[in-house]
Structure 1
Amino acid sequence: MKSNDSYQENKANFRQAKILVIDDNNDQWLLIQKAMQEVLPEVTVVWVSETTQALLLLEEWQTQEWEIPKMILLDLYMPENSDGWNLLQQIKRMPSPCDRIPIVMLSASINKTDIRTAYELGVSSYLIKPIDFQDWIAYFQELRTYWWETVTLPPLQYKL
């Protein structure tokens, strides 16, 4: 049983919670959006379909603490995997707090090299994209349980 203090700490993950979804596939986005609305209704979801859009948003948000997403869901193939790798590396080179945002790599790829490279480049998790809507629901229920209800995320710290 959780103490009230630890419950309140974990609840902090929901405060002003935002997830940035970076995926160039509109059909995948529609599934992700609908599943997230069902499972994480209190979370604001922002979608971009291009790597340049993602970088512009993150650069804009990096000085606005209330805008920083709690997590990034990044598609590897944007449309090529080199695009996903480049974006991941650019985010990891950004100033704090953007470089500390947990990044979950989403991909249809089950290639072991892709998985290994993703972790070597600093993703927090690598998840193979579900195929049908019910699997997306199950995926986001697990994501909610782990990232929002179990893990305690540190407050974002700005470096001056």
Structure 2
Amino acid sequence: MRAKLFVVEDNDDQWMLIQQAMKQALAEVVVERVATCEQALENIKDWQYQDWDAPKLILLDLYLPASEQGWKVLQMIKQLPSPLSRIPVVMFSSSVDKNDIIKAYELGVASYLIKPTTHAEWTVYFNRLRSFWWETVALPDMRFTL
């Protein structure tokens, strides 16, 4: 089964750039995108009953369109039973506000990334993401419980 990446991104223009870059950098990865906090929460709840469908990594936009929704999704993920709560969450945002960055780490993100703005920058971004999350780190099997 191919690894799955779950993307929570509300902006269709950003999603178009993300999709194009992912096709180049993560062609073998199954990508599932939702655009709203509500859709994300629905999927997250489903993973509790279908953990085989859980992603290897979550990319979470902070502003969906307001930060309250991004924080809500993050907190819901971290409240899931183990091993689902251990799925790495990479929060990505256009916000460079240090308070957003600090809060993201306090709430348990694996990393906080500033969104690129061009297709070329997105491609570099996803090549680096691939190198780190798919080729460098060892992640637990989500079906394995300690």
State if a TM-score over 0.5 links the two structures: yes
Deviates more, 1:81-90 or 1:114-123: 81-90
- How many corresponding residue pairs? 146
Contact in 1 for aligned 2:51/2:143 (Cα 8 Å)? no
Cα distance in structure 2, aligned partners of 1:65 and 1:90: 15
Return the TM-score normalized by structure 1.
0.86
Displacement over 2 Å in runs of 4+: 61-66
1:144 is aligned with what amino acid?
Answer: R
Aligned to 1:90: 76
Cα distance in structure 2, aligned partners of 1:86 and 1:48: 15
Larger radius of gyration between Structure 1 and Structure 2: 1
Q: Indicate the SS of the match to 1:37.
A: helix
Aligned to 1:7: none
Give the superposed CA RMSD.
Answer: 1.5
Identity of aligned residues (%): 53
Equivalences for 1:1-160 in 2 at 5 Å? 15-157=1-143
Question: Which runs of no fewer than 5 residues in structure 1 stay unpaired?
Answer: 1-14
Cα distance in structure 1, aligned partners of 2:47 and 2:78: 15
Contact in 2 for aligned 1:72/1:102 (Cα 8 Å)? yes
Question: Which runs of no fewer than 5 residues in structure 2 stay unpaired?
Answer: none
Q: Indicate the SS of the match to 1:150.
A: coil
Return the TM-score normalized by structure 2.
0.94
Structure 1, residues 59-81: CA drift from partner, whole Å, max 9, x if none?
21233233110011000001111
